[in-house]
Amino acid sequence: MPGPAHLVLFTLAALTDVAESFASVAPGRPLRVRPQRATFQTPSSRTAVIQCAASGPQQQATLAASILGLVSQPIMWWSLYTLKTTGCGLPAGPFGLIGAAEGVSYLVVIGFVGAAILSKVTTGKGLPAGPLGLLGAAEGLSFLSAVAGLAVLGFQLADYGYLPEAVPTEGGVCSDI
């Protein structure tokens, strides 16, 4: 009896046959499909190519980017608050995970702002709203975080007179915090 792998390969082969049938139809002509008996073919004798719908994977990637953008916001706000009150960014934390999350969140926010500006310049519109409006929310919050970051940068220079290093070095200003 065939196992799950055989069933997947059988389904892929059948879908490829259907896709080839649709590809051979000229626009405006009716589709005539003759019933065929499906047979199982091994991967070595036939390679099945499945092309997913354009909206499926793209929508999933957009949703993932939206969630990453929204999760990055509170991390950056925590970092900005810590920077404003102590003059240094977040501590490295266990295995450097907090510091890494801080750095990634700054990069994500900068990426959202850059992508939105590029989209605005090239298309005249910002980023699309995305699924459930989450991409638009991440874009708006990223602009807010970027403005807050510039304000904290100004306060940092005025209050402390320096910018802390991105990676704290031993003996550096922020190494003992």
Q: Which pLDDT score is estimated for 41?
A: 53
pTM of the model: 0.64
Q: Which pLDDT score is estimated for 126?
A: 85
Q: Are 69 and 135 in contact (CB under 8 A)?
A: yes
Q: Which pLDDT score is estimated for 148?
A: 96
Q: Which pLDDT score is estimated for 45?
A: 53
Q: Which pLDDT score is estimated for 71?
A: 95
Mean pLDDT, consecutive 10-residue stretches, the chain (177 aa), reads 39 41 47 48 50 63 91 95 89 88 94 93 88 90 95 90 75 65
Q: Which pLDDT score is estimated for 96?
A: 87
Q: Which pLDDT score is estimated for 92?
A: 84
